[in-house]
Amino acid sequence: MIFSLAKKSTLIVEDFAEFARSVRAMLHNMGATKVDIVYNAEDAIDACKARKYDVILSDYNLGTKKDGQQLLEELSKYHLLKSNCVFLLLTAENTSAMVMGAVEFQPDGYIAKPFTGNLLKSKLQKTIEKKDALQPIRRAIINKKWNEALENIQQISEEHPKYKMSCLRLKYQALKNLKQFDKALELVTQIVAQRAIPWAVQAVGEIFYLKNDFTKAMDIFKNMTTEFPMALEGYDWLAKIQRQLGQPIEAQITLTKAIEKSPKALQRQKNLGALAEENNDLPVMTKAYRQAVKHSTNSAFSSPDEYIKLTTALTRQVAQGAETIPEKIIHEAESVFAKLEKSFLSSSSARLRSSVAQALLYKANKDEEQEKKYLALAEKNLHKIDEQISAEVSLELSRSLKSLGKEELSDQILNEAIQQNIDDQDFIKKASEITSNHELIKVSKQASQNNSKAINYFKNKKYSDSILYFDKAHKLAPTNINICLNYVQSLLKHAQTLNNSKETIQNADNMLTAMPQLNFSDPRYARYSELSRLVQLMIQNST
Partner 1 sequence: MQKNTDDVFNMILASTVHDMKNSLGMLGESLKSIFERIEVSAIDKKATELFGIVQYETSRVNNSLMQLLALYKLENEQLPFNPSYYNLYDFLHEQKLLHLPLLDAKKIQCEIIVDEDIEGVFDESLLGTVLENIIGNAIRYTRTKISVSCTHSDHIEIEIADDGFGYPEEMIKLAGDYIHGINQSTGSTGLGLFFAHKIAEMHKHKEKVGNIKLANGGSLGGGRFIIQLP
**Residue from 47, 100, 282, 300 binding partner 1 (CB under 8 A):** 100
Q: Which residues, in sequence order, are CB contacts of 379 under 8 Å at separation 6+?
A: 406, 409
Q: Among the candidate windows 16-24, 311-319, 466-474, 487-495, which touches partner 1 by CB under 8 A?
A: 16-24
CB 72 within 8 A of CB 48: no
Q: Is 235 or 344 the residue whose CB approaches partner 1 more closely?
A: 235
CB 492 within 8 A of CB 507: no
96 binds partner 1, rule: CB under 8 A: yes
Q: Give Cα 93 to chain centroid, integer Å.
A: 30
**Residue from 52, 65, 261, 328 binding partner 1 (CB under 8 A):** 261
Distant-in-sequence contacts of 504-509, Cβ < 8 A, 24+ apart: 505/535, 505/538, 505/539, 505/542, 506/539, 508/535, 509/535, 509/539
Q: Distance between CA 483 and CA 471 in Å, rounded?
A: 9
C-alpha angle 310-315-321 in degrees, rounded to nearest 5:
130
Q: Distance between CA 424 and CA 93 in Å, rounded?
A: 47
CB of 299 to partner 1, least distance (A): 21
106 binds partner 1, rule: CB under 8 A: no
101 binds partner 1, rule: CB under 8 A: yes
CB of 192 to partner 1, least distance (A): 12
134 binds partner 1, rule: CB under 8 A: no
97 binds partner 1, rule: CB under 8 A: yes
**Residue from 126, 138, 145, 222 binding partner 1 (CB under 8 A):** 126
**Residue from 1, 2, 104, 116 binding partner 1 (CB under 8 A):** 116
Would you call the peptide bond into 523 cis, given omega within 30 degrees of 0 as the criterion? no
Residues 186-205 that bind partner 1 (CB under 8 A): 195-198
State the distance between the two ends of the chain, measured CA to CA, in whole angstroms.
62
**Residue from 77, 142, 144, 229 binding partner 1 (CB under 8 A):** 229
Query: How many residues at the interface with partner 1, by CB under 8 A?
Result: 37
Residues 48-77 that bind partner 1 (CB under 8 A): 61
Neighbours of 46 (CB within 10 A): 11
Q: Distance between CA 272 and CA 251 in Å, rounded?
A: 9
115 binds partner 1, rule: CB under 8 A: yes
113 binds partner 1, rule: CB under 8 A: yes
* Identity of the amino acid at 95: T
CB of 162 to partner 1, least distance (A): 6
226 binds partner 1, rule: CB under 8 A: no
Q: Among the candidate windows 115-123, 289-297, 436-444, 535-543, which touches partner 1 by CB under 8 A?
A: 115-123
Neighbours of 146 (CB within 10 A): 18
The dihedral of CA 51, 52, 58, 64: what is its sign?
Answer: positive
Q: Among the candidate windows 65-73, 225-233, 399-407, 467-475, which touches partner 1 by CB under 8 A?
A: 225-233
Q: Among the candidate windows 34-42, 176-184, 226-234, 457-465, which touches partner 1 by CB under 8 A?
A: 226-234
Interface contacts to partner 1, rule CB under 8 A: 16, 18-19, 21-22, 61, 92-97, 100-101, 110, 112-116, 118-119, 122-123, 126, 161-162, 165, 195-198, 228-231, 261
